[in-house]
Each structure stands twice: as C-alpha cells, then as structure tokens.
Amino acid sequence: MENNVEKYIENLKSQFHQNSDFASRLFVCQKGKIGFVFLKSMSDPILFSQCIYLPIQSFDGQITKQNLIDKILKNSGVETVQEEKVFAEILDGKVIVFSDFFEGFISVDITKYPTRTPSEPPTSPVIQGPREGFVEDFKTNITLLRRRIHSKDLVFKMMTVGSHTKTKVILSYIDGVADSGVIKELEEKIGKIKINGVVDSYYILSYLEKRPNSLFKQIGNSEKPDVVVSKMLEGKVAIIVDNSPIVLTVPFILMEDMQSSNDYYTNHHYSSVVRFIRMCGLLIAIVAPGFYLALQLFHYNILPLNFLITIADTTQGLPFTPFLEILFIFLLFQILYEVSLRLPSYLGLATSVVGALILGDTGVKAGLISPPGVIITALAKIALYTVPEQQSQITVLQIVFIILGGSLGVLGIVTGFVYVVNYLNTLDDYKTPYLAPYAPRVKEDLKDALLKSSITEKHSLPKSFPTGKRGAK
Amino acid sequence: MKSISARQSGIIVFLTILANKILVLPSAMYEKSKTDSIFALIAIFAFELLVLACFFALKKAYPEQNLKEILSKKMGCVAAKVIIFAFLIFFLFKTMLTYAVLYVYLKDLVYQDEFGFLALVCLFPVVNHAVVCGLRAMGRTFELFYYIVLVGVLFCLCIAFFTNISMPNFFVASPLEIFHSGFRHIFAFGDYLVLFLFIDKIKLKKGEEKKIFLFALVGIILVLAIFIIFYAKYQVTAFMHNNALADLLVFSVQFNAIGRLDIIAMLTIMTLGLFQLEIFQAAFCESFVQIFDKLSVKYGVIVFDILFLVIYLVLIKKYEIMLSFATDYLVYFAILTNIVLPVLIYVLSRRHKKETYDEKND
C-alpha cells in the first residue's frame, strides 16, 4: 500500500469498470497521501466533505490512523476493515479511507440513498389500528420491528444471498419464543441458496417452500409491521429481504389468511362474524361458478321453480353453451382485472365504464351472455377479495371448479373439493399442519380461528406449530 | 411413522359405521324381516362394539406392532399372511360394494342416466390420491369434514321427521326371519376391522378408548335413527326405496325460496361415499403392503385399480349384480372376517396378557 495510493485508487476504479458514480479523492499531508474512495450514488458527497475531508484538512495535530478513528472522523460508523471487505463496504455506500503511511483501511458510514417513508400499504388498509407499512430499505424495516419489541431477545441475523446482488436477508425472531429447529432449518435453507440475484422477497420464498411447484402458498407474508410483530410474538420467524417491502413469516397456516389485523383492533364478537363471512366468501369464490354450472347442466330439478324459469328465459337463444358462457364471462372479468391493474389510475374510471356498461350490459342485451351468468361470476370475483392474500390460488381453483362442475356436476365439485383438502393436509412444512387448528383439531388454538375469543383469554403460545417454549419442554 | 390421533380414529370408525348402511341396506333388510330389521341391526352392532373392545385389548397388548408382526409372533409368518390376505379380499369387495351402492344412487337419483364411466373418472383419481397421501392426511380430512357430514345426516333426519311420519309397527317378523335378515347382510358390517390393519398407526393415550367408543355410538345411533325414520316414512313400501338417506328428503317439503333440499342429502352421501371408499381402499393397500412388505402403497393402489377394473368391467359388468353377489356369496366370507378373525385376534391378545403376567410372576 505504501507509496501506492494513486495506484490503488486506479486499481479500484478499473475493478469497478470505470463506473461514472465511482468517486475518489486524494489528500496530501506532511506524512504522505490519504486516499478516499466511495460511490456517489450510494453515499452523501456533502457528508463526505463536511465530516471527513474538511476535518482532516483542518486538523492541527499529527495525522495517524488512531487519530483518524478517535479524533478526526467523528461519524458513528467508523471502523477498520480488512482488504477483502473493501468492495462490500464501498458497495454498501461507505467511504474507504487508506494511506501510504498506515496499514489497513478505515470504513466510514456516509450512506445515503433514496428511500420511501413508511406509509399505509395499498394491499392491506385498515379502519382502525397502526397504518405504518414496511418499505424497501431493510434498515428502516428493522427499526419498525425494533420499535415495537423492546426486548433484548429480539434477534436479527443477517445473511447475504445472490452472487451478483449480494442482497441482505435478515432472519428475525424472539429468542426462546421461536422454535430453534425452525430457525436452524431456515438458516440452512437460506445458506444453501444459489442464485444470481434477489430482486424481491418472492425469490427467497420459493427456496423456503418444501414444494415450490405447489399452487398453494406455504410461507406467510405481510407488509405491516404490527402484523409481523404479532406473528413473531406467537413464535414465528420473520424474514426481511433488502429492497422488498414484503416480509415473510414462517411457519404458515391457512387460517392466517382468514385473519386480518383489523380483527384484533375491534370487538371480538364482530371479528368472529367477519371471519365467518370471509370463510363463506372464500367458499363462494371457489365454488360458486362451478356449482351454478353443475346445477344448470345436471341438477336443474333442485333449483327453485322461479329461478329455473328465469334461467330458461335468459339463456334461450344464447350462442354459447352454459359451460362456455361462464368461461367467457370469467375471461372477460379477468381481462378487465388485469387491465385495471396496469392502467394508470386516471384511466380506471374509463375501464369501469367500458367493463360494466359496454361489455356487461351490452353483452346481455346483445344476447351473448345471460344475466344470471354475469351475476354468479361477478359474485365469485368480488367474494375473492374477502381473502385477497389467496387471490392467485383462488383464481386457478375457480377455473378448475368451473371445468369440474361443467363436466361432472356436483360429484365433480365434491370430489374436487375433497381432493384439494386432502392435498392441503399433506402440506406440513416446518412441522406445521396447513389446516390447523381444524385438521388436526388443536383445541387451544380454536380461540383465535374462525371464532375469535377476547384477547384476555389468549395466554399461551399457539400449539398448531412448533414454538420455542414448547420445544424446551 | 405418520400416526393418527384417537379423535381421527374415532371419526374413521364413525364413517365406517355409516358405510353401506344409509342407502340400500334399510330397504334390503326390510324385505326379509320388515321393521324388525332394527333388532338384527342392534344385535350386530352390539357384537361390533365387542369387536371394538377386542381391538382395544389388542392395542394395549401390542401398542407399537402392526397386525402382521402380532400375528407372526403367535402363529408364524405364513398364517399371518393368510389372515391378512383374507382382510385384503374383504376390503377389495367392500370397496367394490361401496362403489356399487354409490353408483346405483348416482344413477337413480342424481344423474338419471348411464353414469358408470363418469363415476370412475370422478372417483378413482381422488380415492387413489388420498390413499397415496397416507392415513394421516386422510384422517385430517375426515376430521375437517366430520361436523359437515354429521350436520348433513342430522338435517336429512330432521326434515324427514317433521314431515308426515307415523311410528312403524315392530314385532312383526319371527326371530328366524330377523336372524336370516342379519345373516344375509352381514357383509355390510364389520367395517371397523380397518382399525386392526392400522393398529400401529393409531396413537392412543390412556383413557382415549372412550373417545372412539363415543364416535362409534354416535354412528350407531345415526344408523338406527335412519332405519327407524325411513321405515316410519315409507312403511310397507320401504322395500321399494333403495336410497334411504336420499329418499328421506325426496318427498319432503319444497321450499320456494331455496328449492328442493335434496342437495343436502346429495352432498352428504357423495362426501360420505368418497370417504368410505378412501378408508376401504387404504385398508386394502395396507393389507397389500403387509403381505408384500417390499412393495409400497403405490403398488397397492395400482393392483387395486387393475383388480377393480377386471372384476367390475370384465367379469361382472353390471354394478347391480355386485349387490346381489354381496348378499349371496360374500356372506360366508364375511362371517370369517367379521366374527372368526376378531375372536381369534382377541384370544391371542388374552394369551399374550397371560404370558406377560406369568413372566412377571416368575
């Protein structure tokens, strides 16, 4: 290093492929030269000049490594680092200080990059309760959790994933409450991930699932710190991934998606009713179009006479068979949904008008589709959003049940439903039965399942999945 | 080993008690002994509760071993395999009978036309998948659906009970006729012999036997209630109605706002039928695995499917023939499996108890 400050800067610059955001400064003092290297895009140049360059320039004493650390650089994040960590530190937005008259490197934290301030997540708004949401910056996310759990047992374990992105993945749990077996398994799985880059937490999620090809989600997620904290208090492990506002939680049971953070901030009797409605919504969303088809095609004698007459009247002269009609309406709704997701918000109203009035109303008047078909499909599509976390799964199941109901009748619906439940019962990632606390029945956890008891009745940790205190027994 | 809880075992017992008894059996038994079939039913159920007690005695004596290991210890490997083979045959025909009963119901009341191929297409993959998934997944599924099925059956009974019925006359058949009625339909019983095959997979804590007994009692009470209300509703024409639980609702009130309530019976029967098929096929596959211990359950499923297709589609062809086959020929085989084998197994468990007692005293 000695007498080679310029050469070392050049070397670093070439290693960074002469990047335009690569910045270097040289300071010459009586003892020799001091080099500074950082990335302009990740660090704050003003902070650099005010907290690093100017203090060195105006220092009256002898500049030594110890003086630099103790007296001159007064930032909070000053530390000596080994040469092999220099790249990682620069990439993290830190300034590397080195010289020809002392050994080693000093890293100074002047990181500054654009981050979003925590705001209410668009996917999970609440009427009552905290409105903060996670952001893309992992440090802010850690703060959001730490602020809610004032405990020395709150642990954050950092790991790096992605050969190019070197993304930080943080395992967070409350020591003694989370199960050590689950933590160990997660550490092993994350440690074994071999991937070029991690763009979002979903990339990690696929590696943590025991059946990555399954339709059903096996890992929980949330954008809200209060939800993640309550899960951690129950003994779950949170996984924060840098650059993603979605925090993953493990283990996961289906009942979690039936619960909303709102349930815990309102009267528990009301929460029970809402959860029951949500469950009905889920069933209607999955089965309604298929069941309607089954009744219309195979078991019309069961329908009330007036309804049967209405169906007969409205379906007369339609160009499609009932099966194709429902599929067509379903496709129409799905296209409108996809369009509304991608269109700018100012065009949303236009989409609604085109969708509801022109396509729906005119479609019925033109005799392409029938009003009962539109109502049933719309009902299923709206009911889907009672459990928005399961939206993608329900959409696929809707298609499956339309095919089953249309081709095999009620027997197709029943067998399909039993098949799905049987399959879900084989999912027991992290020793957690997917349909607990109902299958198997865990009596203690029924207090916070479809029916919710008062918060005063909830004293112990859940028994549906492994937790620390139970593991210690 | 993936085991099931006492509650799940109890629900399996509950489901098997209802197997083959809620559709054809009430009318079939009525032909022989009229309303007094109830007494035959009570006698058989009383015996079956004793069989259940035998199971608990065996489980207590051999908490960890499977049936083959227990029998091999006492009778040698060959005899053990012969007995388990008898169970294999029993459950093969039991599954086929359940398919047949369900098929007749679907054809007569639900689809009203030829349905054979469609039934196979619908049921086979689901039943096979459940068996391959294993007993634990199946047990959990049954646990989830238990109350739904129970409410479905109770709903059918209530609707039938509150429409025009009058208490049937009892004591119209001779004891011989009652015996004959029970004897001819014995193949429809003995369903919870499945427990013997899954003995090592059932996790039974001290005192949990009561739980299983309770589920058995609920099942027995429901079957008796179905018989009584069915006979009360149809009286002398009971023999004409082959789908008891569904027929309880057929001539019931039609609610204008929600239409006919047959859909409740339909959903209940389909779910029950599917679960019973899963249990029986799982029992077949378990026997298969215990006989051919180097082969997995998947082979058992394949063998079952082939046997089923050959026997049904090539040899018998008509599903209805299966029903008369069960009452004419399978009766004698059922006596062996339903009576002789449980008694034999009970004797073995007693002997084991005595030996253990003697060893301790020595």
- Range from A141-155, B53-67, B126-140 carrying the lowest mean pLDDT: B53-67
Q: What angle do CA A249, A251, A255 make, to 5 degrees?
A: 90
Angle at B38 between CA B37 and CA B43, to 5 degrees: 100
Q: Does A298 touch chain B (CB under 8 A)?
A: yes
Q: Is A280 on the interface with B (CB under 8 A)?
A: no
Judge: B144–A426 Cβ closer than 8 Å, yes or no.
Answer: no
Give the span between the Cα atoms of A312 and A299, in whole angstroms.
14
Instruction: Give the phi and the psi of residue A143 in degrees, each rounded to 5.
Output: -60, -40
- Tokens 């000049």, located at residue: A49
**Is residue A382 in a domain?**
yes
Q: Are residues A323 and A197 in the same domain?
A: no
Q: How confident is the model at residue B258 (pLDDT cuts 50, 70, 90)?
A: low
* Cis upstream peptide for A55 (omega within 30°): no
Residue A1 confidence (pLDDT): 52
Residue B337 pairs with which residues in a beta bridge?
none
Asked whether the predicted pLDDT for residue B198 surpasses 90, the reply is: yes
Residue B151 neighbours by CB under 8 Å, 6+ apart? none
Q: Is residue A132 part of a domain?
A: no
Confidence of residue B119 (pLDDT cuts 50, 70, 90): low
Are residues A93 and A38 located together in one domain of the fold?
yes
Residue B245 resides in a domain: yes
How far apart CA A83 and CA A85 sit, in angstroms, is 5
Residue predicted with more confidence, B190 or A421? A421
Q: A280 φ, ψ to 5°?
A: -60, -45
**Where is average pLDDT lowest: B100-109, B162-171, B332-341?**
B162-171
Cis peptide before A319 (omega within 30 of 0): no
Torsion of CA A86, A88, A90, A94, to 10 degrees: -100
**Given CB atoms, is A303 within the 8 Å cutoff of chain B?**
yes
Query: Is A194 domain-assigned?
Result: yes
Tokens of A279: 């469950």
How many domains is chain B built from? 1
Q: Mean of the pLDDT values across residues B53-60? A: 89
Interface pTM, i.e. ipTM: 0.92
Domains contained in chain A, number? 3
**β-strand A220-222 against A105-109: which pairing, if any?**
unpaired
Return the minimum-mean-pLDDT range out of A142-151, B24-33, B86-95, B269-278.
B24-33
Does A292 reside within a domain? Answer: yes
What span, in angstroms and rounded, lies between the C-alpha atoms of A197 and A161? 7
In this structure, what are the phi and psi dihedrals at residue A157, rounded to the nearest 5 degrees?
A: -110, 120
What number is the average pLDDT over the span A81-88? 89
User: Between chains, do A438 and B256 touch, taking CB under 8 Å as contact?
Assistant: no
Question: Is B281 touching A (CB cutoff 8 A)?
Answer: no
Does residue A74 surpass a pLDDT of 80? no
Q: Which residue has the higher pLDDT, A399 or A68?
A: A399
**Which pLDDT score is estimated for A187?**
95
Among candidates B141, B266, B275 on the partner chain, residue whose Cβ is nearest the Cβ of A410: B266
Residue with tokens 């009778």: B75
* Residue A69 vs residues A34, B37, B228: alpha-carbon distances, Å: 14, 97, 93
For the ranges A89-103, A188-202, B334-348, which has the lowest average pLDDT? B334-348
Integer CA distances (angstroms), B184 to B35, B71, B178, in order: 16, 29, 10
Q: How far is the CA of B280 from the CAs of A12, B130, B300, B341, in angstroms? A: 72, 11, 12, 18
The shortest C-alpha distance from B350 to chain A (Å) reads 34
Residues 6+ apart with CB under 8 A from B356: B61
Tell me if A468 is assigned to some domain.
Answer: no
Residues of B in contact with A411 (CB under 8 A): 106, 110, 118-119, 122-123, 270
Q: Can you give the residue range of the structural domain that contains B327?
A: 6-361
Residues of chain A with Cβ-Cβ distance to B103 below 8 Å are none
Q: Of A391, A407, A426, which residue constitutes the final position of a domain?
A: A426
Residue B19 domain-assigned (yes or no): yes
Residue whose pair of structure tokens reads 């997979």 in the numeric block: B201
Classified as helix, coil or strand, A247 is: strand
Answer for the pair A217, A186: CB distance below 8 angstroms, yes or no.
no
Of A44-53, A448-457, B218-227, B334-343, the range with the highest mean pLDDT is: B218-227
B193, B345 in Cβ contact below 8 A? no
A365/A295 same-domain check: yes
CA A123 from centre of chain: 10
The average pLDDT across A327-346 equals 85
- Distance between CA A310 and CA B245 in Å, rounded? 31
* B203 at A interface, C-beta within 8 A: no
> Within an 8 Å CB–CB cutoff, is residue B132 touching chain A?
no
Res A348: pLDDT: 72
Q: Is B208 exposed, middle or buried (0-12, 13-18, 19+ CB in 10 A)?
A: middle
pLDDT at residue number A471: 42
Is residue A231 domain-shared with residue A289, that is, in the same domain? no
Q: Are B225 and B150 in contact (CB under 8 A)?
A: no
Spatial distance between the Cα atoms of B266 and A147, rounded to a whole number of angstroms: 55
Residue A470 has pLDDT above 70, yes or no: no
Q: Cα separations (Å) of B175 from B43, B94, B150, B223, B238?
A: 12, 28, 33, 21, 20
User: Is A118 inside any structural domain?
Assistant: no
pLDDT at A473 (0 to 100): 35
- For residues B209 and B56, is the Cβ–Cβ distance under 8 A? yes
Q: What is the arithmetic mean of pLDDT over B105-117?
A: 75
pLDDT at A41 over 70: yes
Chain A residues 385-444 with a CB less than 8 Å from chain B: 408-412, 414-416, 418-419, 421-423, 425-426, 433, 435, 438-441
CB A246 within 8 A of CB A200: yes
Mean confidence (pLDDT) of chain A: 89
Q: Are residues A363 and A302 both part of a single domain?
A: yes
Tokens of B214: 């309770």
Smallest CA–CA separation between A254 and chain B, in Å? Answer: 13
Distance CA B136, CA B211 (A): 18
Closest CB to B271 among A418, A423, A441: A418
- Average pLDDT (A263-283) is 92
DSSP SS3 for A432 = coil
Residue A2 has pLDDT above 70, yes or no: no
Percent of chain B with pLDDT over 90: 38
Domain containing residue B33: CATH number? 1.20.1740.10
Joined together, the tokens standing for residue A52 give 């690093």
Q: Are A379 and A260 in contact (CB under 8 A)?
A: no
- Counting every residue written for chain B, the total comes to 362
**C-alpha torsion sign, points A175, A181, A186, A188:** positive
Per the structure block, which two tokens stand in for B315?
A: 């040899």
C-alpha atoms less than 13 angstroms from C-alpha of A77 in its C-beta half-sphere:
13
User: Which of chain A's residues have a Cβ under 8 Å away from the Cβ of B267?
Assistant: 410, 414
pLDDT for the residue numbered B354: 67
The mean pLDDT of A290-310, rounded to a whole number, is 87
CA B208 vs. chain centroid, Å, equals 22
Which amino acid makes up residue B222?
L
Claim to verify: residue A318 and residue A365 sit in the same structural domain: yes
Rounded CA separation A59/A75 (Å)? 16
Share of chain A above pLDDT 90, in %: 51
B57 is a domain residue? yes
In a domain, B1, yes or no: no
Rounded CA separation A81/A165 (Å): 21
A417 lies in the same domain as A276 = yes
Residue B194 belongs to some domain of the structure:
yes
Please give the Cα distance from A240 to A172 (Å, whole number): 7
Same domain, A271 and A240: no
A441–B7: do the CB atoms touch at under 8 Å? yes
Sheet strands side by side (includes A78-81)? A22-28, A33-39, A94-99, A105-109, A78-81
Specify whether A20 is located in the same domain as A158. Answer: no
Q: Reply yes or no on whether the pLDDT at B142 is more than 60.
A: yes
Answer yes or no: do A297 and A331 share one domain: yes
Does A438 contact B138 at a Cβ distance shorter than 8 Å? no
Residue B16 predicted with pLDDT over 90: yes
* Same domain flag for A307 and A415: yes
The pLDDT value recorded for residue B256 is 56
Considering the domain boundaries, does residue A224 fall inside one? yes
Residue with tokens 């739980």: B211
Coil, helix or strand for A359? helix
pTM (two decimals): 0.90
| Nearest Cβ partner for B260 among A302, A425, A439 | A302
Domain membership of residue B293 (yes or no) is yes
Could you tell me if residue B129 is inside a domain?
A: yes
Task: Identify the band that residue A472 occupies on the pLDDT scale cut at 50, 70 and 90.
Answer: very low
Interface test with A, best of B141, B208, B274 (most A CBs within 10 A): B141
Contacts of B125 in chain A (CB under 8 A): 419
Q: Which domain holds residue A53?
A: 5-109
One-letter amino acid at A22 equals: F
One domain, residues A97 and A202: no
Helices (H), chain B: 6-18, 25-33, 37-61, 67-75, 77-105, 116-133, 135-161, 175-184, 194-197, 209-234, 244-250, 262-291, 297-309, 319-328, 330-335, 341-361
Does B141 contact A303 at a Cβ distance shorter than 8 Å? no
Contact B143 A440 (CB under 8 A): yes
CA distance A386 to A216: 17
Give the mean pLDDT of B232-246.
Answer: 83
How does residue B154 score in pLDDT terms, banded at 50, 70 and 90? very high
Which uninterrupted H or E stretch holds A33? Answer: strand A33-39
User: What per-residue confidence (pLDDT) applies to A60?
Assistant: 83
Residue B76, pLDDT score: 86
Share of chain A above pLDDT 70, in %: 98
